[in-house]
Structure formats: C-alpha cells, structure tokens
Amino acid sequence: MRVIDVAAGREKADLILRNVRHINVRTGEIEETDIVIADGKVAAVGKGYEGVEEYDFSGLYAAPGFIEGHIHIESSMMTPPYFAEAIVKHGTTTVIADPHEIANVLGIDGIKFMIESSKNLPVDIFFMAPSCVPATNLETSGAKITVNDLKKLKNMERVIGLAEMMNFPGIYLNVPEVVDKLGIFEVQDGHAPMLRGKNLNAYISGGIYSDHECTEIEEAREKLRLGMQIMIREGTLAKNLEALLPLVTHENWPFFSFVSDDRHPSTIIREGHLDGILRKSLSLGLDLVTAVRLVTINTARYFRLFDRGEIVPGKKADIVLFNDNIEVKHVIKNGRWVVKSGILQGKTDKCEHEAGSSVNVVPDLNRLKIHARGDRMRVIKIVENSLLTEEIELRAKIEDGLVVSDVVNDILKISVWERHKGTGNVGVGFVNGFGMREGAIASTVAHDSHNIVALGVNDEDIVFAVKRLKEIGGGMVVVRDQKVIAELPLPVAGLMANKDVESISNLESALNKFYRSLGGTLRNPFMQLSFLALPVIPELKITDFGLVKDFEVVDLFI
C-alpha cells in the first residue's frame, strides 16, 4: 500500500495541509500540525513530510468532513446532484438520507431513482430503507413497502439501515406486521415524539437506538438514559437545538448528533447546513470541539461508518477547513479538492435519471362543501416552528347551512386531496394560524404520503390551486381570485426539481412573499402546511381520510 510508504516518509504525499489547527475529535485537543494525504486517505498527522502539493493554512481549523445523520433530501426540493453541490460548500461530505418521501409516492422505483442519481457526487450519500410506507393506515399513499421489499433493499448499494420507525404504537403493542421489519438491518433509526415510560422501554427493546423527535429536555434525558443516540434537530421548521443543548455534557457527548431532518433551499443559503448548526451551538455556549464531534465521529460511529469521522492515519481524507466564524473555506473529499476558497471544483454529474410523477386528481368544488351538523368544531392550531399542532374547539361560521372559513378569527378551510390512485378521497377541516385574508395556497409536498394539501379563504381559489398543481405535475402554488400569483413546479414525483439551490430558493422566496401579500403571517408557510398531513405527529392532523388524532379518524364536529 502506497499510503504506508508515504506515512513512513519513504514517498512524497499527494497533498499536505500545513500549519492547520487540527480539531482532534478523539482526544479533544486542538493542535497546530500538518495533515498528510495520499491515495484519498490520511497518511499521517505531523511534521517532517514532503508533498507534491503543499499549502499553508495557518489560522484555519481542520476538521473531519461533516456528516448529516438524518435528512430527507426530497425536502430540499432538489434532486441529489444539486443537493450535493449545495451542501458540500458548507462542509458536509457524507449524508445518511431517508428517502421515504419519494418512496411514499413511487415506492421502490423512487428509492432506485435516489440511489442512481446520487452516484459520483462530491458527497457520499447513504440511504436508510423506509420502514413506514405508508406511515399509517389513516391515509392513502402511492405505494407500500413490505417486509420482503425491505429485505431486497438491504442488498442495494449504499443502503445501510432501517429508517425512522414512525409507527411507534405498532412496536410497543407488538403488532407482528410492524415488528417483523425490525432486525433486518443492524442499524435502526427511531421516531418517537413524546414517547415515555413503559411504552418507550418497549419501543427501544426492539433494537431502535436513535431518536430525532425530542422537543423537551426531560424527554431527551429519559431516552438518553435508556440507550438512545439523541439526534438534536435544527431544520427549517423544527428547531430543537436551544431546548436540548443543555443536556450535552463532557460526560455524555458521544451519544448526541446534530441533524437537520428537513432543510429548505432558502435556509441553506441563509444559514448553511451543518455549519449553521455548529455556529448556533457555539452561540449557545457549546465548545468548538464538542460541537464538531456531534457532526463527525459521533454520527460515523452510530451508523458504523468507521472509515471516516476523524482525521487519523488510514481514514478517508474528508476534511473541512474553516475560520473562527465557522465559515467554510475549503473542502477535501477522498483526498481531492471539491471546494476551494468557497468555489465548487469540477463538474457534478447531472445525468437526468427518470422519475415518474403522480397527480391523479379530479378537482371538484362540491368535495369541499361541509354541511353543518353542529356549531362547535375541532380546529387544528398551528404551533409555529414545530411539527406539533394543537386541537382547539371553536365556533363554526355557518352560511346557508354550510361551514365556511372565518377570516376574522383566522379559521381557514384546509383540505387533503388523494393524488396517487384516483380514489377521489378528500379530507376537509379547518386550521388556525395562517393569517390569510384572501386567496389560497396548495402543495404536493405533504408528509408523508404527499397527497395535495390546500387551504384558503374560499372554495373557488382552493380548487383552482389544486387544478394548477395537476397541470404542472406537482409543486407549490399561491392563488388569488382564481389566478396564479406565484408557483414552484416540482415535476420529479411532485417533490423535487432539477434546479440549483439559488433557483429554487428564489422561487420559494416569491411564494412566501405572495403568501404574505394575502395577509399570511407564518415564516415558513409551505413547510408548516406540509406537516399538517402527518398523522404520526401529535396532536390533530388531517389526511385524505379526514381529521386524525391519536391514530384515529375523528369527527370535525364536537
């Protein structure tokens, strides 16, 4: 092995990074030294070597390439090549992705699309096999992934574990068809919001040792004590860093990771990726070495990626160079420059692999009519910057025997239209917190089954928005007076576009701008909208079956 001869000083290195401030995630030291690279690996750390290329990086920190432990690439609205280009500039060199968004639309074919389109990129993308497609029996998804499908996925390249097990009641109740999915993979990710006590013990006993859904410190503390890797999430919508960071100590740091889960293009441009989470954690008082550990060695160890996560001889030469403000200057992947002075090096393979779409819906104004059967009703209350919602009881506004939106009290009609199989299912309810006084918004991004979710002040605008999404093959749209005033087409499964981060961010910003022109008050309205159809997150949600609470369909009227 040539790397041995280089390490022994008998041959010149390919590349030497001189006088860096090496963040040693193993010992906790920050040491000024040289990093010696050969054949894509770290050959040595220390002085006295010669290289073909040598650079003096005095004053810059050198850290292992950042590792994202839990993200849905589809939520970036970019296909994998564009996503990789966007995040590698921020120091991310490895991603563990859960493709359950596209799996809920296109099944195994969708997962194959993600694998094929993530080859030969400046970022290594590994995949977790979606465990819950569909997530529940309370919605209509475009596909179903069975135990046998999971066994087949295990043999696909770069599939390394079982993705978040969202059906936590199915686990702690020991439901055979759910529990049978456990044990296929050695690494199994969790998803257990607010789960505590005996049911939490039962859930973990199935071999599920991570969770990214903690929102309160005592919940995270209990899960930590019971053996879980706590993935502290700081995404575009769900922001748990500030609440959970005080739990991280010098005694327990190996059992935490920073993850983003969902990261919109505008957030990547404005705040970065994992580098942005590092900056925020430092502003909240965490020390630099511990923070870096949470995006490198900790995540590598949890996912058993033992060839990366630290800068030591023999490991992959995945290295990030940044300044005191965690501004990424240079990135090396497998010993090669992929980012120099903030500029992407070389071209990323943009081979346009085919992925289908499904917007199979017949918009019908009559499907939105709600005949009054009482004057008190359940309403979904938005909790901004959270996936959680609340159930509130409010008085219905009734006109000519029909329940309609109540703009004065910010109660808007919301609907979920099944878009995969042409069932004609439409769930209708009401939501509080969007602030709109006119128009409608709609999206084919609606976790996790990704039916069409649409809300608005009047039925005509809602139906027009649904019609427009069908015409463009999926995406997001803002409508006023039955006219499109802003839209973001997402023709790849109704979830993604073959566009770069800047292009999608600009379209996303326009959507938010025109939403606010309708009176809207939320910072991230479309991401907030997308999670209203996710019945595995408390408290009250809506699917194409209707309102859902505690894994049951409930009546609108009380």
How would DSSP label each residue in 450-512? T-EEEEESSHHHHHHHHHHHHHHTSEEEEEETTEEEEEEE-TBTTTBBS--HHHHHHHHHHHH
Residue 18 phi, psi (nearest 5): -95, 145
Check: CB of residue 84 under 8 Å from CB of residue 118. Answer: yes
The pLDDT, as a whole number, for residue 66 is 99
Mean pLDDT on 398-402: 97
Could you tell me where the beta strands, DSSP code E, fall in 72-205?
A: 92-97, 124-129, 159-165, 188-190
Q: Does domain 65-314 have CATH number 3.40.309.10?
A: no
C-alpha 477/C-alpha 248 separation (Å) is: 41
Query: What does the angle CA 101 – CA 281 – CA 264 come to, to the nearest 5 degrees?
Result: 30
Enumerate residues 6+ apart whose C-beta is below 8 A from 145.
103, 107, 108, 129, 130, 133, 153
Residue 353 pLDDT level (bands cut at 50, 70, 90): low
Question: Which of the two residues, 302 and 349, has the higher pLDDT score?
Answer: 302
Average pLDDT of the residues of the chain: 96
As a whole-number percent, the residues of the chain with pLDDT over 70 amount to 99
Say which residue the tokens 């040491």 belong to. Answer: 31
Per-residue model confidence as pLDDT tens digits over 220-259: 999 999 999 999 999 998 899 999 999 999 999 999 999 9
- The contacts found for 348-354 with CB under 8 angstroms, 24 or more apart, are 348/81, 348/84, 348/85, 348/121, 348/122, 349/81, 349/119, 349/120, 349/121, 350/81, 350/82, 350/498, 351/81, 351/117, 352/498, 353/113, 353/116, 353/117, 354/113
Per-residue model confidence as pLDDT tens digits over 495-515: 999 999 999 999 999 999 999
DSSP H helical ranges for 205-304? 217-225, 241-244, 265-271, 274-283, 288-293, 297-302
CATH classification (class only), 2-62: mainly beta
Say which residue the tokens 């928005």 belong to. Answer: 465
Per-residue model confidence as pLDDT tens digits over 77-106: 999 999 999 999 999 999 999 999 999 999
C-alpha 176/C-alpha 336 separation (Å) is: 48
| Type of residue numbered 32 | E
Mean pLDDT on 471-483: 97
- C-alpha torsion sign, points 516, 518, 521, 527: negative
The pLDDT, as a whole number, for residue 133 is 93
The pLDDT, as a whole number, for residue 352 is 62
Q: What is the largest CA-CA distance in the chain?
A: 89
C-alpha 195/C-alpha 191 separation (Å) is: 9
Q: What tokens does 210 get?
A: 């991570």
Residue 135 pLDDT level (bands cut at 50, 70, 90): confident
As a whole-number percent, the residues of the chain with pLDDT over 90 amount to 94
Strand partners, 380: 391, 431
Query: Does residue 355 have a pLDDT over 80?
Result: no
Per-residue model confidence as pLDDT tens digits over 279-337: 999 999 999 999 999 999 999 999 999 999 999 999 999 999 999 999 999 999 999 99
Residue 141 pLDDT level (bands cut at 50, 70, 90): very high
Whether the model clears a pTM of 0.75, i.e. scores above it, the answer is: yes
3-state SS class at 38 = strand
Q: What tokens does 234 get?
A: 């700081």
Strand partners, 229: 210
Buried b (16+ CB within 10 A) or exposed e, 42-51: bbbbeeebeb
C-alpha 83/C-alpha 268 separation (Å) is: 10
- The contacts found for 35-38 with CB under 8 angstroms, 24 or more apart, are 35/62, 35/311, 35/317, 35/319, 36/6, 36/7, 37/13, 37/317, 37/332, 37/335, 38/2, 38/3, 38/6, 38/7, 38/11, 38/13, 38/14, 38/335
**Residue 440: its H or E element:** strand 440-443
C-alpha 384/C-alpha 493 separation (Å) is: 27
| Type of residue numbered 508 | E
Enumerate residues 6+ apart whose C-beta is below 8 A from 286.
245, 248
The pLDDT, as a whole number, for residue 385 is 80
Mean pLDDT on 61-70: 98
- Please report, for the chain, the start and end positions of each structural domain, with discontinuous segments joined by +: 2-62, 65-314, 365-554
Q: How many CB atoms lie within 10 A of CB 182?
A: 17
Say which residue the tokens 């009380």 belong to. Answer: 558
Residue 558 pLDDT level (bands cut at 50, 70, 90): very high
C-alpha 275/C-alpha 126 separation (Å) is: 20
Check: CB of residue 199 under 8 Å from CB of residue 218. Answer: no
DSSP H helical ranges for 180-216? 197-204
Enumerate residues 6+ apart whose C-beta is below 8 A from 534.
135, 387, 447, 448, 541
3-state SS class at 133 = coil
Enumerate residues 6+ apart whose C-beta is below 8 A from 155.
none
Check: CB of residue 260 under 8 Å from CB of residue 83. Answer: no
The pLDDT, as a whole number, for residue 137 is 87
Three-state secondary structure of 362-421: CCCHHHHCCECCCCEEEEEEECCCCCCEEEEEEECEEECCEEECEHHHCEEEEEEECCCC
